[in-house]
Amino acid sequence: MAVITESAIRELAAIRGERSPITSCYLDVDGRRLARYPDLEHEVDLLLRGAKVRANGEQSVHSDLTRIGRLVRGGIDRSRTRGLAIFACADQDLWEVIELPVRVHSQVVINHVPAVGQLESVLRENEPIGVLLVDRQRAEMYVFELGELVGHSEHFDDLPRDEGPRGQSDRGGHTNQAEARVHQHLKSAAKVAFEVYQEHEFAHLVVGAPEPLAADLTAHLHPYLVARLASQRLGVGVGASHDQVLAAAQAMETTLERRREAALVGRLRDAAASGGRAVLGLPGVLEALGTKRLGQLVVSRGFAAPGWRCDGCDSFVAIGRLCKRCGEEMVEVDDIVEEAVEAALASSCRVEICVDNADLDVMGRIGAFLRY
Ligand SMILES: [Zn+2]
């Protein structure tokens, strides 16, 4: 499977359909959603048929869509693949199929650039996450990347019988000794976590441990891990199955992502309100993009709007047809937002696609931080 990296996405984003448009196709092939393969084939068929209508007789795009249909009819191994991203342009010998272990939103985009927005989101929302589960005698460390287990380690410190896993020693004199043992155990757990981190780096660490242990554990964690500590309230504990741990980690990742988006939108609103380096709304964003002032783009998922693209001066506007900047006749495009996202990515701007953020929706569903 091709590994999706930030640089791979930027390489894709830099491709241009010189003679013919590029076909970008995302397919949700999740076997848990559509268990019967013929149902998937039928769904893809409908999607491609709709795209062929939009292809407007472009031969190259027709070939791309036909080839995508063949790929799906040929069978997809869905044991590990839940999403597909396909970038094609028959005219340019471009054919790139990326298998993803996570779902995507099915769509076909026909444009002069590849539509990499969803790939970017997948990458952003599936940063490697470390999970540390600890009780009074066991420690388990997991690392998941793109929904798959890439690292795992366990540690066990046997407790004397009378202390048991609950650690409630009846004999008062032994309490200090018992506490010292737990202390030692947490130290070992923290060490295991850091060893795993050195093997498989992760962006976030979440901890599942009973309340009194969690705080103690943090004191023993390596500073690198403390810096990545996102939550100590994972809904699962030691002994949970791999699937349960993964599900809890992914739910946590989604929560963290939404929180991060909310903070970003808050900063954007404040910057715009105080006359800082930020703009809100589509016209302002397109203007910033055209004048190369765009720093970071923030957009609501699903936001689309028709508009115009000027190939004369590489700019985008909401209203055509003649370019105010260079006087050229512009090209009408179905979705100027998608164009703006691709252009921003291609020029190495960061793009944040926010999900269900009501604040951003009120602000016009799109905004940007400016370079100057
Ligand atoms: Zn122009």
- The per-residue DSSP string of 131-142 comes to EEEE-SSEEEEE
Q: Which of 46-60, 154-168, 284-298 has the lowest mean pLDDT?
A: 154-168
Distance 314 CA to ligand 1 centre (A): 6
Distance 329 CA to ligand 1 centre (A): 8
Distance 268 CA to ligand 1 centre (A): 28
Per-residue model confidence (pLDDT) at position 169: 46
Place of tokens 């850091």: 194
Query: Higher confidence at residue 315 or residue 207?
Result: 207
Distance 60 CA to ligand 1 centre (A): 27
Distance 245 CA to ligand 1 centre (A): 53
Q: Which of 86, 92, 26, 84 is nearest to 59 (CA)?
A: 92
Distance 323 CA to ligand 1 centre (A): 5
Going edge to edge, which strands form the sheet with 278-280?
278-280, 366-370, 294-300, 350-354
Average pLDDT value for the chain = 89
Query: Higher confidence at residue 80 or residue 277?
Result: 277
Per-residue model confidence (pLDDT) at position 174: 62
Distance 82 CA to ligand 1 centre (A): 41
Averaged pLDDT, 298-303: 92
- pLDDT, one tens digit per residue, over 243-253 is 899 889 888 88
- pLDDT, one tens digit per residue, over 307-347 is 998 888 888 998 889 998 899 999 888 889 988 887 887 77
Distance 20 CA to ligand 1 centre (A): 21
Distance 310 CA to ligand 1 centre (A): 5
Per-residue model confidence (pLDDT) at position 311: 84
Distance 107 CA to ligand 1 centre (A): 29
- d(CA 187, CA 133) in angstroms, rounded, equals 13
**Other beta carbons within 10 Å of 171:** 10
What are the structure tokens assigned to 334, written together?
A: 């179905």
Q: How confident is the model at residue 157 (pLDDT cuts 50, 70, 90)?
A: confident
Distances (CA, A) of 163 to 90, 175, 212: 69, 9, 16
Distance 312 CA to ligand 1 centre (A): 5
Q: Which of 316, 309, 300 is nearest to 330 (CA)?
A: 309
Distance 54 CA to ligand 1 centre (A): 25
Distance 19 CA to ligand 1 centre (A): 20
Averaged pLDDT, 293-298: 93
Distance 297 CA to ligand 1 centre (A): 22
Distance 344 CA to ligand 1 centre (A): 17
Distance 290 CA to ligand 1 centre (A): 9
Q: Which of 144-153, 213-222, 356-365 has the lowest mean pLDDT?
A: 144-153
- d(CA 350, CA 372) in angstroms, rounded, equals 15
Q: Which of 87-96, 130-139, 189-198, 286-295 has the lowest mean pLDDT?
A: 286-295
Rounded to the nearest angstrom, the gap between the alpha carbon of residue 233 and the centroid of all alpha carbons in its chain is: 22
Distance 197 CA to ligand 1 centre (A): 50
- pLDDT, one tens digit per residue, over 263-291 is 999 999 999 999 889 999 999 999 999 88
Distance 13 CA to ligand 1 centre (A): 22
Per-residue model confidence (pLDDT) at position 161: 60
Averaged pLDDT, 292-316: 90
The answer to whether residue 202 scores a pLDDT higher than 80 is yes
Per-residue model confidence (pLDDT) at position 3: 61
The answer to whether residue 140 scores a pLDDT higher than 90 is yes
Query: Higher confidence at residue 110 or residue 160?
Result: 110
Contact partners, residue 168, CB within 8 Å, separation at least 6: none
Query: Higher confidence at residue 326 or residue 171?
Result: 326
What are the structure tokens assigned to 52, written together?
A: 């062929």
Query: Higher confidence at residue 313 or residue 62?
Result: 62
Distance 50 CA to ligand 1 centre (A): 31
Per-residue model confidence (pLDDT) at position 165: 53
Distance 331 CA to ligand 1 centre (A): 10
Distance 364 CA to ligand 1 centre (A): 25
Query: Higher confidence at residue 223 or residue 333?
Result: 223
Averaged pLDDT, 6-26: 90
Distance 317 CA to ligand 1 centre (A): 10
DSSP state of 172: G
What whole-number percentage of the chain has pLDDT above 70?
95
Averaged pLDDT, 192-212: 94
User: Is 195 in contact with 139 (CB distance < 8 Å)?
Assistant: no
* Ion ligand 1 residue ranges (Cβ < 5 Å): 310, 312-313, 323, 325-326, 328
Distance 316 CA to ligand 1 centre (A): 8
The answer to whether residue 142 scores a pLDDT higher than 70 is yes
- pLDDT, one tens digit per residue, over 231-242 is 878 889 999 998
